[in-house]
Chains A and B, each alone.
Chain A
Amino acid sequence: MQTTSLKFRQLASQALADETLRTALGDVERIMPVIRNSALDQLENPEAWFDRASASRDRTLAELDVYLEAFEQKVQQLGGHVHWAADGTEACEIIAGICETAGARTVTKSKSMVTEEIELNAFLESRDMTVVETDLGEYIIQLRGERPSHILAPALHVTLSEVAETFHRHHDLERAAPLREPTEMLLEARAVLRDRFLSADVGITGANFLVAETGGVVIVTNEGNADLTASLPDTHIVVTGIEKVVPTLEDAGLMLRLLARSAAGQRLSTYTTLIHGPRRAEDSSGPSNFHVVLLDNGRSDMLGTQLQEMLRCIRCSACINHCPVYTAVGGHAYGSVYSGPMGAVLTPGLAGLHAAAHLPNASTFCGRCEEVCPVRIPIPKMLRYWRDREFERRMTPRSVRYGLDWWTHMNASPRIYRSLLGIAARLLRGLSSRGWITRLPGPGRAWTRYRDMPTPAGQTFQHQWRRTRGRAGES
């Protein structure tokens, strides 16, 4: 998995200066919490559903091998094939092999973060196949040669006029009237992709869940593109992570209720599909070849560690939509296909801490991610885990390490700590005007460049406590 996470600071600064991006992110920040909350309110006591969902995920992860083997067996009974891939390269090789056996020239795909993770498109293209993304957002960024900036809305950063311009450039529309309305753009994309659906040799989809009980693959979309991808070509390949298995249909139903609500404020997504194997002898249509590729790529290493709970994730994106850092800098700054709080935990897990070192620091530890997560993943705790590893491996910048050392010494001596703090409080008060500090000197400037700081009380808490304790005690 390629990342540019080491450039987080630089990319984040660029993002902060990008006005159109800020508008799109502002919409996420404003709209998503409202529609999510009202959808969750439809469930009496959503917290109880979160408890059930996280318990179901924990139960599955504790016995993951059992459910994976059960799933595999069911798929085989239905006439499908299951492949296991230790890493991204192996998964790409397996998939390319299946495509080549099918004589594939054109491959349609519905949105799958796992295929982004393993960079499947580039791999298939290097084997002379044409790969067409069919989710509208993925299609737009594919044409633009960009990476997704949100796990559910990959083209979040692209404005409508940029979409129109992209279609003009790539669809041979040079002389046609400009596309103005979103509905015109939708019709244009629908018409172009219709032909692709009908002519594809292989369809590749992800999976939201794998049901061990039945061997079913659950795929959720609002556009219907996954169903056309999965049912029209003669070969269907499902690519997904090993953690996506759930024991029974009841577990799937539980997750589906929370996924649609947390992701997009829907009771249920428009299309929820459960696929069981290839076409049957009596069927007139449907793929004759059905393959499931189960990807590990670092996931099994997280089992049995402090990161295991991250494997509960159902990719709903609630933590992303509610994150003050994500909604300020957007997805590209994270430099990984997984962005936001979940990406900051997952990326070092999958790509290695060396490739993602800044991400665990891209957090204010406000805790909203954990609050909104429908499977109760303690994201801040995991970010802290990564920061500890980073410190241990001396990857933390020297200034921060020295700063922390200095802080520790100072804390060890209450008298020095108190007197320094008293001086700082008075100094800060002197810098303020009308209750706010807008410019700090020295390293503090980095803080006040983007935000103001409220004026501190001018006296330390301990100072005030000493003055008022007597009075409070009397009353």
Chain B
Amino acid sequence: MTSRDAILTKIRNARSNAAAQIKPADDVGIHPQATPAGDLLGQFIELARAEVATVDELGTVAEVPAAVARYMEEQGLGNQLVLGPDPQLGDLDWQSIASLKCSQESPHPDGDTVITACYAAVADSGALVVVSSPDHPVELNFLPANHIVVLRRDQVLEDFERLWTQLRQDYAGKPWPRCINLIVGPSRTADLGFPPKMGAHGPGRVHILVV
């Protein structure tokens, strides 16, 4: 008998209930709290800031290049920006900002500033949601020293449950995205005493541009 069969047999012998199947999700008995449906964006921003992300509210997506240049200047991050392969961002008018040197190369291992889009944000936890794809390789979220994320106002969801529902709709009949990353502020560690120290292995800065 293989270990697989041996383990499954032991489990089956131990359990009383014979027939079982994966129950539909609504049977789990989760009744999400009534999130104040009103100001989802406000709630998200408040929690993201509490988790040490910075947030800049812009008008349209066309304002992104200037806002990036301003942020990098203020923070003293130099002028190298990695755009990644995402055409949504690549198509913006970066030429107009003479001070920025943009590249599509993957981030330099020693740390760079990277800008990416995102899939959603979750208001009740202050989390950005990023899904991997050829346009958005997962390491873009983890290798850079600074991660700038463009979030559309209409992408903010109340809670996990709404996120799962939306993912199920968007990926119906397709394989699930290889990586779904929920990101709350910069990387940190609690291994060097309390309070946690920012900038462990992932980005030390997370800056969100809301458009």
A84 at the A/B interface (Cβ < 8 Å)? yes
B78 at the A/B interface (Cβ < 8 Å)? no
A116 at the A/B interface (Cβ < 8 Å)? no
C-alpha spacing A61/B8, complex, angstroms = 12
Known: A136-B189, A160-B192, A273-B182. A300 touches B176 (CB 8 A): no
B95 at the A/B interface (Cβ < 8 Å)? no
What per-residue 1/0 map shows which CB atoms of A170-202 lie under 8 Å from chain B?
000000000000110111001001100110000
Scan residues 190-206 of chain B and give those whose CB is less than 8 A from a CB of chain A. Answer: 190-194, 196-197, 199-203
Q: Write the nearest CB–CB distance from B22 to chain A, whole angstroms.
A: 6
What per-residue 1/0 map shows which CB atoms of B73-116 lie under 8 Å from chain A?
00000000000010000000000000000000010011000000
B62 at the A/B interface (Cβ < 8 Å)? no
A304 at the A/B interface (Cβ < 8 Å)? yes
Question: B22 to A274, Cβ gap below 8 A?
Answer: no
A277 at the A/B interface (Cβ < 8 Å)? yes
The interface residues of chain B lying within 8 Å CB-to-CB of A64 are 11, 15
A392 at the A/B interface (Cβ < 8 Å)? no
The interface residues of chain A lying within 8 Å CB-to-CB of B187 are 222-224, 270-271
The interface residues of chain A lying within 8 Å CB-to-CB of B16 are 62, 304
Question: A227 to B126, Cβ gap below 8 A?
Answer: no
C-alpha spacing A55/B29, complex, angstroms = 9
Question: B15 to A303, Cβ gap below 8 A?
Answer: yes
Question: A225 to B127, Cβ gap below 8 A?
Answer: no
Task: Please tell me the size bucket of the interface on B.
Answer: 35 or more
The interface residues of chain A lying within 8 Å CB-to-CB of B192 are 136, 160, 163, 182, 185-186
- A: residues with CB less than 8 A from B are 27, 31, 43-44, 52, 55-56, 59, 62-70, 77-78, 84-86, 90, 134-137, 140, 153-155, 160, 163, 182-183, 185-187, 190, 193-194, 197-198, 212-216, 222-225, 227-228, 231-232, 242, 247-251, 253-254, 256-257, 264, 266-280, 282-286, 294, 296, 300-301, 303-305, 308
- B: residues with CB less than 8 A from A are 2-4, 6-8, 10-17, 20-23, 25, 28-30, 33, 47, 51, 85, 106, 109-110, 122, 124-127, 132-134, 137-139, 141-143, 159-161, 164, 167, 175-194, 196-197, 199-203
* 10 more A-B residue pairs beyond the given contacts A222-B200, A271-B181, with a C-beta to C-beta distance below 8 A: A52-B30, A63-B20, A136-B191, A183-B199, A185-B192, A228-B202, A267-B124, A273-B179, A284-B85, A286-B137
